[in-house]
């Protein structure tokens, strides 16, 4: 996205009583300011390594919910990844989160069930990585007329869900934003945080010489996303 200006934000309430870590301040440039949301053309809420926690146990969940209320009011394009998708889908639609017996940590081929502009140019069997300890209740989603499952992997894991009544909301359960070493980096972060624990290594992925198997998926998807943002700007303006 060479011509796009990106602003990285972190929740203020996450660092109320402690300094912002160097690795965060080096990447995320500003604390979240709800009053500034109207300045942005679109918004992305990423994943976080907290999918094992109940939503009410996340220390900054109320700040996130205030953000979601404002985004809903603004009706700008919204893209939610992994935990961001889980928290948002639970907040707006009451979809339950289920803790998995084993982490989904692999690269999978995917099926397109319902076409969508964000999936344009992706073929049946497109490749994308998954990394999470929880999932959203798929049966509950299927029974909710407000929600549509657009794509799943070949094991039935959710890839993309959208809202029929709020088409600006897009829920992505894959980490297609990860770079080539993203799955390895995640594994190494877990080992560094808790070296006494056993962690599953990613399947279908070489830890010593990882391949960027989802590079084309990533480029196609985000090119489509930017087109959606431009269309949305024209409508809103």
Q: Quick check: is 177 catalytic?
A: yes
CA angle in degrees (0–180, nearest 5) for 41-123-121: 35
Nearest CA to 213 out of 121, 128, 104 is that of: 128
82 is annotated as an active-site residue: yes
How far apart CA 176 and CA 127 sit, in angstroms, is 9
Query: How long is the chain?
Result: 237
14, 157, 168, 177: the active-site residue:
177
Q: How far apart are CA 79 and CA 68, in angstroms?
A: 12
Q: Is 23 a catalytic residue?
A: no
Dihedral sign of CA atoms 216, 5, 231, 90 in order: positive
Considering 82, 110, 116, 168, which one is annotated as catalytic? Answer: 82
Cα 92 off chain centre by? 16
CA 58 remoteness from chain centre? 17
Q: Looking at 116, 130, 175, 186, which residue is catalytic? A: 175
Distance CA 189, CA 186 (A): 5
What is the helix (H) or strand (E) element at residue 129, kind and residue range?
A: strand 126-136
For residue 43 the two structure tokens come to: 């918004």
Please list the active-site residues.
82, 175, 177
């Amino acid at each position: 996205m060479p011509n796009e200006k990106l602003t990285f934000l972190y929740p203020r309430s996450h660092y109320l009583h402690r300094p912002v870590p160097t690795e965060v301040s080096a990447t995320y440039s500003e604390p979240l300011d709800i009053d500034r949301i109207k300045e942005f053309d679109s918004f992305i809420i990423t994943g976080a390594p907290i999918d094992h926690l109940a939503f009410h146990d996340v220390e900054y969940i109320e700040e996130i919910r205030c953000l979601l209320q404002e985004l809903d009011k603004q009706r700008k394009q919204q893209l939610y990844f992994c935990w961001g998708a889980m928290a948002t889908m639970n907040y707006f639609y009451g979809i339950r989160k289920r803790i998995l017996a084993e982490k989904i940590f692999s690269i999978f081929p995917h099926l397109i069930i319902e076409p969508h502009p964000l999936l344009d140019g992706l073929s049946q069997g497109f490749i994308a990585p998954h990394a999470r300890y929880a999932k959203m209740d798929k049966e509950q989603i299927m029974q909710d007329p407000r929600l549509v499952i657009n794509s799943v992997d070949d094991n039935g894991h959710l890839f993309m869900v959208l809202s029929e009544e709020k088409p600006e909301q897009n829920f992505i359960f894959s980490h297609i934003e990860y770079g080539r070493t993203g799955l390895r980096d995640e594994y190494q972060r877990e080992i560094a945080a808790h070296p006494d624990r056993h962690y599953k290594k990613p399947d279908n992925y070489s830890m010593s010489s990882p391949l960027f198997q989802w590079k084309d998926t990533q480029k196609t998807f985000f090119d489509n996303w930017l087109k959606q943002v431009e269309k949305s700007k024209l409508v809103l303006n």
